[in-house]
Amino acid sequence: MFNSLITVYLRTIMQFDKIIPINSLKPYIKYFVVSEAGVENTFNVLPSTGMVIGFQYRGKLSHIHDGTEIKLSTAGITGISDRLKIFKNAAGTGTILVYFTEMGLAQFTSCPANELFNQSISLDNIFNQDGVREVEERLALAKNSLQRIAVVEKFLLTRLRNIRDDRLIVEAVKLIYQSNGAIKISALAAQLFISQSPFEKRFRKLVGASPKKFASIVRFNAVLNQLDGNKSLTDICYENKFFDQAHFIKDFKLFTGSTPQNFQRSR
């Protein structure tokens, strides 16, 4: 299931193509997406476990917060978020999206990932402004999606740091996924033979959220996947180790803006 800057409402998007990166970028980038909207559209973005860079090569994208429309930079980055976000695109908007792996961004910038938590900011805050402008100019001249992806790949390759992965955090992410986000962080730190405080600091810096918050987003997405099956909401609640249904509904509403029942009906 696509998440983050992928909406669950795609009915009016004319083009939505997923493209796998070249081999040298695969360890750090899950995929690129070319998104082109034929008409003006407001869409909901659900929490996910990776950060996303977006380059708009035409049109306009805005973030709607408390009823106020805030125009976004044509080149921006969105960090991990623990709540529903609402975006609006103008008619004819075209965007290249870069979906990073859980620790992929660290290979391209020394910026602590946790500073981007719940943020959508200009890419100038992360990379050299001249380099970002050059990418935007080249994207404007590109004639098709493959040329645009090549421009973005070149931009990323020139910033690739080739630093060594933090194997402990890699293992932590793996264990969180294996538990569908239901693992206790104290137990996770003990399993990795590290004190909880330094573990959480390392995790936040590389992944972009605390291990507890990251695990809650993993668990949320596990719930989303189960909503498409035949299980009852009660079964889903307890299988994913929520304390009770009230806790389940509260968390779900934070992530989606809707109760599980209403969300399921809308799907």
Query: 3-class SS at 171?
Result: helix
Could you tell me how many helices (H) and strands (E) the chain has, helices first? 9, 10
pLDDT for the residue numbered 38: 85
Determine the average pLDDT of the residues in 231-252.
86
pLDDT for the residue numbered 181: 95
pLDDT for the residue numbered 226: 87
pLDDT for the residue numbered 260: 87
pLDDT for the residue numbered 14: 52
State yes or no: pLDDT of 8 exceeds 70.
no
The pTM score is: 0.89
State yes or no: pLDDT of 1 exceeds 60.
no
Alpha-carbon distance of 109 to 208, in angstroms, equals 13
Give the pair of three-digit tokens for residue 186.
């104290």
Determine the average pLDDT of the residues in 57-63.
91
Vertex 225 angle, CA 190 and 118, to 5°: 65
Alpha-carbon distance of 194 to 171, in angstroms, equals 12
